[in-house]
């Protein structure tokens, strides 16, 4: 097998890995799990029944891959992707508190109102009230206190990833030996 043949096979393998794993990492958001490892449910009242880690869909869409001649790596372009993927703690800052107050006022401004100005007692307004209370509670946290973010891995190594990579390599090598390999007789 000459060098150009090896390079062609490696490029095919890396291309197939990029396609397959990009699809699988995207499916993690549908599964709400890292393959078979379920993500911890939210304890907040925001977006009840909604998918975990999916608000705008930006995190899901931010997953990219980078391929060199001999390797492939997957990453997210968003700065908050790492804390969700690995978990950890965040220190509350004044800027965060301002954001929490913004979300609180956004939620309270959306309350349904009766003609006399009182809040409606419909399902949407009750949900907004619960959400507003959550944001108020977050905004009242002391600067420097911590918020624990649970690990909700969506990228990385796992037995499922290793199995998919192994199958792609085996398929590509079998195809190469079956169809592409040419022996020269001298």
3-state SS, one letter per residue, for the chain: CCHHHHHHHHHHHHHHHHHHHHHHHHHHHHHCEECCEECCCCCCCCCCCCCCCCCCCHHHHCEEEEECCCCEEEEECCCCHHHHHHCEEEECCHHHHHHHHHHHHHHHHCCCECCCCCECCCHHHHHHHHHHHHHHHHHCCCCCCEEEECCCCCCCCCHHHHHHHHHHHHHHHHHHHHHHCCCCCC
**47, pLDDT greater than 90:** no
* Mean pLDDT calculated for residue range 20-43: 88
Cβ–Cβ under 8 Å, residues 92 and 99: no
- For tokens 């939620």, what's the residue? 107
Encode pLDDT of 49-101 as tens digits.
567 777 677 889 999 999 998 899 999 999 889 999 999 999 999 999 999 98
* Mean pLDDT calculated for residue range 22-35: 91
pLDDT of res. 120: 64
Residue 105's pLDDT band (cuts 50, 70, 90): confident
**141, pLDDT greater than 80:** yes
**1, pLDDT greater than 50:** no
Question: What percentage of residues in the chain have a pLDDT greater than 90?
Answer: 46
Phi first, then psi: what are they for 89, rounded to 5°?
-125, 145
pTM for the full predicted model:
0.72
Question: What percentage of residues in the chain have a pLDDT greater than 70?
Answer: 78
Cβ–Cβ under 8 Å, residues 147 and 89: yes
Instruction: Kindly list the domain boundaries of the chain, sorted by start residue.
Output: 1-43+56-85+152-186, 88-149
């Amino acid at each position: 097998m000459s060098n150009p043949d090896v390079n062609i096979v490696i490029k095919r393998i890396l291309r197939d890995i990029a396609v397959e794993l990009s699809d699988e990492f995207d499916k993690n958001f549908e599964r709400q799990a890292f393959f078979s490892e379920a993500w911890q449910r939210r304890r907040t009242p925001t977006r009840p029944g909604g998918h975990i880690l999916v608000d705008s869909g930006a995190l899901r869409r931010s997953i990219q891959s980078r391929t060199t001649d001999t390797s492939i790596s997957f990453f997210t372009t968003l700065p908050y992707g790492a804390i969700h993927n690995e978990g950890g703690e965040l220190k509350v800052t004044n800027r965060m508190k301002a954001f929490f107050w913004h979300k609180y006022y956004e939620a309270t401004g959306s309350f349904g109102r009766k003609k006399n100005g009182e809040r409606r007692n419909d399902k949407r307004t009750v949900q907004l009230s619960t959400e507003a209370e959550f944001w108020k509670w977050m905004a009242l946290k002391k600067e420097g206190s911590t918020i624990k973010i649970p690990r909700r891995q969506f990228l990385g190594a796992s037995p499922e990833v290793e199995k998919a990579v192994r199958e792609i390599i085996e398929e590509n090598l079998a195809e190469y030996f079956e169809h592409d390999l040419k022996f020269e007789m001298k």
